[in-house]
Amino acid sequence: AQSVAQPEDQVNVAEGNPLTVKCTYSVSGNPYLFWYVQYPNRGLQFLLKYITGDNLVKGSYGFEAEFNKSQTSFHLKKPSALVSDSALYFCAVRDGGNDMRFGAGTRLTVKP
């Protein structure tokens, strides 16, 4: 069965600095990987996904993610963090067209 792991419960960065939120995955076939963001009292919002092709995927709000097959990782990045980026971030993996499994989430705090 497919799964993802987010090794950090919390990530703190200063505004204007680059940010990275880590994710590693485990799948038996081709990985379909996703990042979502959750703001307080809201549902999850889709940020970006990797299906195939370029290892660097660009998404919403200036976020991007780098797929690394050899390290089985799919880290979320942003060159310059904003205070408004503070939220809960989830990595997810989908087995083909079937179920979607999420990591435990990483709380990102961007300090002014």
Is the CB of 69 or the CB of 83 nearer to another protein? 69
Among 23, 25, 90, 110, binds another protein (CB under 8 A): 90
Distance of CA 64 to the CA centre of its chain: 9
Is 89 among the residues that bind another protein (CB under 8 A)? Answer: no
Stretch that binds another protein, among 19-27, 48-56, 60-68, 75-83 (CB under 8 A): 48-56
Cβ–Cβ < 8 Å for 19, 11: yes
CA 39 to chain centre: 14
Tokens standing for residue 103: 């990591």
- The rounded distance, in Å, linking the Cα atoms of 72 and 51 is 14
Q: Does residue 60 touch another protein according to CB under 8 A?
A: no
Positions in the binding site for another protein (CB under 8 A): 32, 34, 36, 42-46, 49, 51-52, 90, 94, 96-105
